[in-house]
C-alpha cells in the first residue's frame, strides 16, 4: 500500500495509476485519492533493494523513497 495525496483514476484523461518496482511495471489498484495498492510482480531478483516508483499515467515516474526486496520462500 502506498499512501500519498492527489492520486486519481480517470481513464478518459489517461490517468491510470501504476507502480514500478525495479524495472517491473504493474497497474495500481486505486482505493482513494490518498491510497494506492500495488501487487508486486514476480521477479528472480532476490535480496536486492529495488526502488519503488509511482505514476499517474504510466509514463512520468516519481520515486517514493522506499525500496522493496524479494526473497526466496523457505522450503522445509
User: What is the model's pLDDT at position 76?
Assistant: 78
User: What is the model's pLDDT at position 55?
Assistant: 93
What confidence tens digit (pLDDT) does each residue in 12-57 have? 887 899 999 999 999 999 988 899 999 988 777 777 899 999 999 9
* C-alpha span between 34 and 29 (Å, rounded): 12
For residues 60-69, give the mean pLDDT: 93
Give bridge partners of residue 36 from the DSSP assignment: 2, 30
Three-state DSSP at 18 gives strand
Amino acid at each position: 500500500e502506498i499512501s500519498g495525496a492527489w492520486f486519481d483514476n480517470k481513464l478518459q484523461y489517461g490517468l491510470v495509476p501504476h507502480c514500478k518496482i525495479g524495472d517491473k511495471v504493474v497497474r495500481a489498484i486505486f482505493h482513494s485519492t490518498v491510497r494506492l495498492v500495488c501487487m508486486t510482480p514476480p521477479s528472480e531478483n532476490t535480496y536486492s533493494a529495488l526502488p519503488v516508483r509511482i505514476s499517474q499515467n504510466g509514463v512520468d515516474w516519481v520515486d517514493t523513497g522506499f525500496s522493496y526486496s524479494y526473497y526466496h520462500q523457505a522450503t522445509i
